[in-house]
Structure 1
């Protein structure tokens, strides 16, 4: 059993990323973020973001996606992007188990 709320509630870091489990060739990660991440891309992998609490902005080269709780977005492979959270935000991410989180 995975208790996302128990894990995220005890997190005091502004940037936290933990793999919760592996499903076939993908991993499900818990992210707790506040602030902005650097611009990057993943040449061979899509990246799925699902907001549990807070607000997440995903800046793409051509637009910005705003996600509220219970909303999700897939960043297609090869797309330059960065994530931003103006306040503490908890999210789940699904990505290839071999992905380099910092991008290519």
Structure 2
């Protein structure tokens, strides 16, 4: 599902049921989008999402949801509206608490995992 307001492709369907193998390298190899999110699986009340990203996401916030970003390959920069920028290199993660205005940037193709509550709106909550 492509969000017509933004240049992102967000697949909210759960790709894998419990007891199914999740093969991230195959998904990365098949991806042709510049900013791609795919929900991989659900774990209790959260989902694990794969992001294959390059470029800049818009500023947004989630009123009721924390977000974990974990970099597998590349470099992800998480900016917050207080002027803070955190660089995440492979095997590094960062939690953005609910209510914090933020954006993510990837100067090169970057592979990330995100852990979020089921039902989160990836593009943020309306103000």
Range of TM-score over shorter length: over 0.9
Unaligned stretches of 5+ residues in structure 2: 1-20
Shift of 1:27: 0.4
Would you identify which runs of 4 or more consecutive aligned residues in structure 1 move more than 4 Å? Answer: none
- The structure, 1 or 2, with the larger RCO (C-alpha pairs under 8 Å, 6+ apart) is 1
Unaligned stretches of 5+ residues in structure 1: none
- Equivalent of 1:70 in 80, 84, 91: 91
Q: Which residue of 2 aligns with 1:31?
A: 51
Return the TM-score normalized by structure 2.
0.80
Return the TM-score normalized by structure 1.
0.98
> How many pairs does the alignment contain?
104
Aligned-residue Cα RMSD (Å) equals 0.6
- Pick the structure with more strand per residue: 1
The residue correspondences of 1:1-104 to structure 2 (distance < 5 A) are 1-62=21-82, 63-104=84-125
Q: Which residue of 1 aligns with 2:16?
A: none
Q: Provide Cα deviations, 1:14-37, integer angstroms capped at 9, x if missing partner.
A: 011001000001000000000000
Shift of 1:8: 1.0
